[in-house]
Amino acid sequence: MTFLLLGFVIALSVGLTGIGGGSFTVPALLLIAGVAPAEAVGTTFVFAGVLRLVAAPFYLGARQVHSRYFRLLLQGAVPGLLIGVLILRLLAKGHSNPIIVIVVGLLLTLSSAITFVPRVQSPGFAKKNSAWLPWLAFPIGIESGFSSAGAGALGTVLLLNYSEMTPAEVVGTDIVFGLVLALIGSAIHWTFGSISLTLLGQLLLGGIPGVLAGCMLGRIVPAQRLKAVVAGIAIFAGLQLVWSGTRTLTVKARPNAAEYAAPASVGLRP
């Protein structure tokens, strides 16, 4: 019941604002369900992909997706995504789970905090310098591959500040952009077996009606104000992950410290 309700709330946020899928789901799976980081990221990829698959037709039907910018973003983000997934897999094999949790927490905190940075708008930038979009999307892809987050928050900030698109077009383009990244990430994690089908099913039971409600309410609810609330909660969740990972590392280090301290104390005896 907890994850069903959680799935509904997260999906409502995605439908309304285009962000929140990875920023909320990964911390919930790590902190509440206690799953391994790689499994949390893989499950989130599939969950976020299904949500965006449901939401995308609403924006495609309203012609609120900029096809050219969408293609340019993918050119940079897809290679970055593959690199991010590779880094995650390498760290997971090395049993560095607390380090992964800390890094994921830092990435979520920083990417969400960008929402509160004063805008330096240059609406004509993307139109005049479109060749830069793939390079700007590359680090977004890396973060998305490592933490399953970033496509929503960072993609939205990039398009809002540096393109001539309306807010509705930005949300629509970013949802379809995030959908493709989620599909690729889901396929990779599925082959690795790093997906919890039990948790995924519970999240989707609440998530599908949640994203439908969010898309229908998106035309009457001011999404810009909601983004600040969503980003604030995501920052808190990211900091919680950093604290949790740091505490785990400290606990693991204590036995080693005692082990090395024992011989030293023996040597000091008269």
Q: Number of helices and strands (H, E) in the chain?
A: 11, 0
Q: At what angle do helices 37-61 and 97-113 cross, to 10 degrees?
A: 30
pLDDT interval class at 268 (50, 70, 90): very low
AA letter at 225: R
Q: Is the pLDDT of residue 223 over 70?
A: no
User: CA 143 to CA 172: how far, in whole Å?
Assistant: 21
Q: What length does the chain have?
A: 270
Tokens encoding 110: 């920083």
State CA 114 to chain mean position distance.
Answer: 14
AA letter at 101: V
Residue whose structure tokens are 């609120």: 64
Phi/psi of residue 6, each to 5°?
-65, -45
Tokens encoding 3: 């994850």
Residue range 235-259: average pLDDT? 75
End-to-end CA distance of the chain: give it in Å, rounded: 63
Q: What is the pLDDT of residues 77-97, one digit of tens each?
A: 999 999 999 988 888 876 667
